[in-house]
Each structure stands twice: as C-alpha cells, then as structure tokens.
Amino acid sequence: MNVLPPRLSVCFTLPAALFLLLGSAVFAAEGWFDFQPPRDNFAADCPLDLRRLNEKVAGEHGGIVAKDGQFVFRDTNQPVRFWAVNGPPDDLEGEDLRRCARLLAKYGVNLVRVHTPIFDKSGEPDLAKVKRAHEIVAALKAEGIYTHFSVYFPLWFTPSAELPWLQGYDGQRHPFAALMFNEQFQAKYRNWLKTLLTTPDEKTGRALLADPAVFGVEIQNEDSFFFWTFDARNIPDPQLRIIESQFGDWLVKKHGSLEAALKSWRSKQLPRDVFDEGRVALRPLWNIANERSLRDQDTAAFLVAAQTDFYQHNVNFLRELGFHGMVTASNWHTASPERFGPLEKLTYMTGDFVDRHGYFECNHKGDNAAWSIRPGHTFSQRSALRFDGSEPGKPKEFVHPVMDPQYNDKPSMISETTFTRPNRYRSEAPLYFAAYGALQDSDAIVHFAFDGAQWQVKPRFWMQQWTLATPAMLAQFPAAALVYRRGLVAPGDVLADVKLNIEELTRLGGTPLPQEASFDELRLKDVPQGAELKPGQRLDPLLHYAGRATIEFTNEPGKVTAVDLQPFVDHERKQILSTTGELRLDYGNGVLVIQSPQAQGVSGDLKAVGKLELPALSIHSDLDLAHIIAVSLDDQPLAKSKRILLQVMTEERPTGFAVEDAGQGVLRITNIGRDPWQVKDMQGTVSLKRPDATRLKVTALDQNGYPGKVLGDAANIELQPTTLYYLISE
C-alpha cells in the first residue's frame, strides 16, 4: 500500500454490560486453557523478574552514546542492547503508569519508544502532552527504562486551509514530505522539539533536555522523498512550487543554467517545468527508479542532498539546544529497495544510529485491515520459520524485518516491528527476533505496540493486530530478553562487506544487498555463491541467517567482499547454520534450533523433528507449533548453572475466536473473540543431560512467574498442559 494508516495506542476495555451478556464464567475449549494472570504484586521471589538487568535508574551511568558501532553507557563505555516496546498505553497515569513501568522492567524491557504527537490540531505545541512526557520519563526512569521520543508522523497532521505556513492544504490531506522542504513548517517543528525538551517539569523544575534517561529523539516517522507518498498528487500546488524552485536552484548551481541542464539531459521540458520562474518538475518515483535517465539521476542527487540537509540541520539544532542524547533521522521504506533504499540510508548517516521499520504480515485483508481486526476480514496462517510467501501457494519469500546490515559502523534499531495477528504463527516472534537480532548484533528491537498493560484481548467491534500484552508475545519476553540483551547467542561472522560508491548510488546504480526487498525461492538460482559479484547481481539474502553484513558509503570505487555461503546455507535441504554453530534453521519444516552454552531450545514444528538432542538437554513434543527454551539465570553455562529458566509456549487465540474456510489457504473471521486469552495446551518432555540432573529440582511457576508446586527432578521433566515457566535449581 502507499500509505500506512495511523497506528493507534488507545486501550479499549469490554463494557460491563457485555460481561453480563456473556456470563460471569468463561470456559476454555478442550485442549486450550485460559491465560489470566492475577494482579502482579511484584514480590521478591519471582525467578523470571528481569528488573535486575536494568540500571537502578535510567541514566545512572551518564546516559547513552554511540561508539564503535554500538550503544554504550556514557560513563562506563559498557555496551548495551535495548529490548524495547512502543508505549506506554495512553490511558495510564499515576500509580497505574508506575505499575506499567515495573511490569515492563520485569519482562526485560529497558527502553520505551513514546510514539505520539507533541502538537495540537493547529500545529502548535501542546503543553498537556509535554507534561505527560515528563510523567512518562519519570515513571520509566525509576525502573531503569530509557525513553525514546517519536513526535512527528505526517498521518497525525491534517493542516487546515487557514495555516499561512502550510498553504494549499484543506484539512483533509496529510503534509507528506513538506517538512523536508518548507522552511516555515520546519520552524514550527523545531519549536515543538524545543518546547518538549526545554519546558521545566512542574515537580522537579528539570527539563528533559538534561535528563540522561532520555535516550533519544527521532526526527520524523515514516516519511521520505523516496517513498510512494512523495507524489505530485499528494502535494498541493503551493507546496510543490517550493520544492520545484529548490530543484531549479540546485540545477543552476550544478549546470550553470536550467537550459544547460536540459541540454545535458538530452530531453524535452515537462509540463510543470517553468524555467522563467526557476521551477523544475520532479518525475514520478517509478520512472526515476526504472528508467534512470540523466534527468532522473540529477533528480535523485538533488533529493538526497535536500533530505540530507534537512536531517543535518535538525541534528545541529538539537545539539545547539544542548541535547546530548541519541538522534536518528527516520525509519522508512522506499519505492525501490534496490535503487532508492541505499540513498535513503545514506541520508540517515547524519544521525547517531540507523533506524528502520518492518512487520511480518499475514495476508490480512478487509475494510480498515491496516489497523484493525474485524468480522469478515480474511487472513492466512504464515510461518516466518518456513519463509512462507505473503500469499498461500506462492513461493517462499526471503525477506524479514530481522535482516539487519550495519551501515557505516553505526548502531542499528528497528523501532517498530511485530508479527501481526491473527496469525497462529505469531508465537514464533520473540525467540526469532532475539536469536537473529543477537546473531546480527542488532542494537535495539522495539516491539509494536504495548497498548494495554492488563493482558486483555480488548475487543469492541474490532481489535488491534499488534497488541503486545498477550501470552504469545509478552509472556515469552523473559527468555527472549535474556538471549538478546545478555548476548546468549553470539554475533556471527561478517559474510558480506559491501562498499557503495556514493556517486554511483546517486546515478541510481543500486545495491547488491537491498534491504526490505523480497527475494523469492524461484530466483535463488540467480544468486552468486562465490566471492565474485557481477553488476546487477544480488547477494543471497539468507546470509543474514548465517552471519552479518556491513555496508559502507564511500567516495572510493565500490567493492563487494563476500564469503562463500555453501558451508552455512544449503538450499537443497533448506537448512541454514550460523557461523557460530549456535543457530540452525530448517526452513523446510519450519524449525529453529538454539544451541549456545547458556541458551538451548527449539522453536516451530517440533513434531516434524521428533526427539531433539542438544548439548545440554533433549526435547521431545508432538506439537506442530511450540517454543521450548532453557536459559541460564546466573550467567553460567547450562551444564553448570544453578538456576535455569525453562520457558514453554504454543499458540494463542481470544476466547470464542472463530473462522471459516474462504478457499485457497485463506480464512475468514466470523468471530473476533473476547477476553480472556487462551493458550493451546503444552505437551512434551525435557531432560537435562547433566550428571546431577536427578539432584536438580523442577518448580512450576504460575502465569506471573511465581513459584508453585515442585514437580520432581530435571532428568525427566513432563511438561504440564498449562505451565509456561519452570525453575530448575539446586
């Protein structure tokens, strides 16, 4: 689609009357159990409580800086990764907000991206929202959680016809791209940032500008000169004239005159070319990416320069204001991952780190399906572990948000990501992101969206498709956060080092490693297997599942150094082994095996692999979708650890959720369901191979992670149908 509708962060609850209608008791269907954790008192005896991983207060060690390709604490230079969420819920304040922060810290979260406008409908700073920002930062800070601000998204703003600084709008359209070329709009925008960062807190008198708990600021969300929304049909004439004049000025500086530019292009004038007024039209992005004429190449070079200048100007503004936190440019896709993708990232080099967005979708269609789930919508069950195509019956697609090349040795963040509902394979997500995020040494994974803190399905006549407080997502955070934040899976070797010549990129030469570009199974035969790469060829995208990739923008000749993937990627058997040997993906069956010294387990179709023998444990289950992992809680290898968390998950659904067959692998929703969440019964056995396994006790933990019944020893653990967590200890 061309435009993503606004993502909502409103917490909906069931009306009391609906509960009366449904009855006071809701019983789980056979083979499923209700997931309804009681109110958490955050007692000290919770083995999976990860609050200890965070600082006593966020900013304790001077805040965060970027150094040597990583985020580090300013005072200690100690690297830190962020397992994060978008939030908090809009309706929380006071004690409820503080409880929410404590809950997030418990589940391993150490950063929250506050994604909300800081301005009102007329485009003026909203002091009530600034006050809210102070309250959020204080609540999160107390639990060792950093705050990252995202305050502008074009879909949040519909300028009225009365605004003198955004002429041509009518209260119906969003100002796509206008912020990057309209200087009056930019002045308003900088005032938003100044108000947010310099307004003193009513209680402490301190501004956010000086608070080391403020991780960073994002300049803009999901907008770009290189995305489809940058189109003359979306930009009113008064605004289009501004950027056409800027293009004309740029061309005069390069060619001496507009006539000279036209002559060098060996082309005719376009209808919107008005040389007498100094205005030059910009051709549509499709033509620029696909035809790549000399005019198109100049256009691309101009857009790169203009977008880069915009970001650099705002980075400078924040620094001059006295802000010492992290600054990032944006996070958006482009109309051509191969031609425009690297140009977009090139403009991001003005910031401290590189951000991106990406969702694993499930062929979800219907009215307002971009932001809701409703009866009558259709979807497909889609596994990331199998690289299922975006539509049933289509070839496998080798593209996923977790794929994360490193640019110019800068840290990386994915500030919005999730596996969207109602896909049953959504439960693959936490371990998938944790394992491959760690393998690629990604620096921050920000899950979308923590829109409620009460484990609620939250239906009205629709539900959100990215709710995080669910058993498949948040309930799997403890083991996943440990794997990712503690580096229990080691970074892989660099398998591709790509040096991209900047001038060649602006001539639309493209990249052999396009991010977000789908590469299907039928085209793998075109992927070079050795180190020699010819122009126009692409590197095998599966390298991201074996190791890492680095990209450098340079004025030197472009060069690609690639390692032969044959020892790691077996296309015939559909298997990928990481260079560390710690991850093994069988994408034919949809099974991920994790086998590091401190974390071992399996995710996916366990029935397909039978009994699985790992170095420290064996696992067997007949479930076709389950996730079983053991992680050390005391930083010791599993072979020696005295405290081990065993975490188990299957799949989730709302109570009463129902579908019907719509044909060709598509399902139609007939009932979106209601509270509470239900989880499919667990089934299987886990056995530790240690000589002292019979002396290690196994304690079942409740849904909040508190100790319950001692089940026996670790030599043979029979998984309980309704137990997600176990503590294995001396």
pLDDT in tens, 147-164: 999 999 999 999 999 999
Strands (E), 490-568: 494-501, 548-554, 559-562
Cα torsion through 266, 271, 277, 283, rounded to 10: -70
CA 504 – CA 560 distance, rounded (Å) = 14
The stretches in the chain having pLDDT less than 70 are 1-28, 525-526, 529-532, 534-535
**Predicted pLDDT at 3:** 36
Whole-number CA gyration radius for the chain: 26
pLDDT of residue 18: 34
Q: Calculate the dihedral angle through the C-alpha atoms of 311, 315, 317, 318, rounding to the nearest 10 degrees.
A: 140
Nearest partner of 456 among 471, 469, 473, judged by Cα: 469
The β-bridge partners of 216 are 148, 326
Q: Which pLDDT belongs to residue 321?
A: 98
Question: How far apart, in Å, do the first and last CA atoms of the chain sit?
Answer: 55
- Give the model's pLDDT for residue 22: 36
Sheet holding 666-671, edge to edge: 378-379, 666-671, 658-663
Q: What pLDDT sits at residue 11?
A: 34
pLDDT at position 336? 97
Quick one: tokens of 395? 């070839």
Residue 519: its pLDDT value, please? Answer: 82
Q: What is the pTM of this model?
A: 0.95
Which CATH class, in words, describes the domain spanning 16-229+313-368+404-485? Answer: alpha beta
CATH class of 575-729: mainly beta
Domain boundaries, the chain: 16-229+313-368+404-485, 494-570, 575-729
**The dihedral sign for the CA sequence 248, 254, 257, 263:** negative
